[in-house]
Amino acid sequence: MRNMRILTLAIGIAMVLVSTTGIAMAAITTTGSLSETSSLVWTISTGAIDGVLVPGERQSTTVYGDTTQADDGTSSYTKTFNFDTKNMNQGQYNVDSTKMFTFDGTGDGNGTGRATSNEYIGIETMGIPGSTDVWPAFHNTVNAGSSFDLAKGSVLTKAQSRTVTAYPGAAPVVLNYGIRVQGLDNEPAVGSVRSFMNGHLEQGRGTTPDKASDLGFSQQASVSGLIYKFDQTYHYESGLNR
């Protein structure tokens, strides 16, 4: 298993909210075709969402998307998606998604089945300190996700993010993503898989809006053919207290 950990000094968004909670669950088993699509875009700010940040304002945007398609095979699909806008502490997430998927493209008898998927999660956080704030100006964007094209195999993915915290420094902003692909019936998976994380982190110093640090990073992994195990985890966090 590979692990990627990125740390910066930018602070999470802290604000008092009326909690909005959504929980979606799906469980499907079928021989033939399967299609599932989901998406989320969520922006929240301590001020007005008007395209202009003022001193003391912090803002975040979270995006999530997933499209899974299977044809001419036997599929088993289970997904749990939790979304909650409330202030989160350590170990809690505003977005928390788990997907479990198995596919056998020989299940219809002709061996031509195919399953494809693209999933991503991303966060953008930014802020300008006020005259009494101790945190620097920041603008951070981080994305992670995966895609696969399988004739046969088992897939587990986990996508999590936290951008709203109980108070400044209570818990860092976090983005987690992981994927595991392996075979069925003691045989390898067949096909191709890719996963990635990338980010662009900009930060000031003191209470001025001037940029003092600029960091970009990216990592990706891919396999194709007979896949005995593909296991990738990515972790990003950013906060005064970690």
What pLDDT score was predicted for residue 2?
39
Provide CB contacts within 8 A for 194, sequence distance 6+: 146, 147, 148, 220, 221, 222
* Alpha carbon 95 to chain centroid, angstroms: 8
What pLDDT score was predicted for residue 24?
62
Beta bridge partners of 193: 148, 223
pLDDT (tens digit per residue) in 69-112: 999 999 999 999 999 999 998 899 999 999 999 999 986 556 68
Q: Domain ranges for the chain, please list them.
A: 2-238
More confident residue, 163 or 239: 163
Beta bridge partners of 57: none
Residue 18: pLDDT above 50?
no
Q: Calculate ∠ Cα 125-127-133, nearest 5°.
A: 135
What pLDDT score was predicted for residue 17?
46
Mean local confidence (pLDDT), 59-78: 95
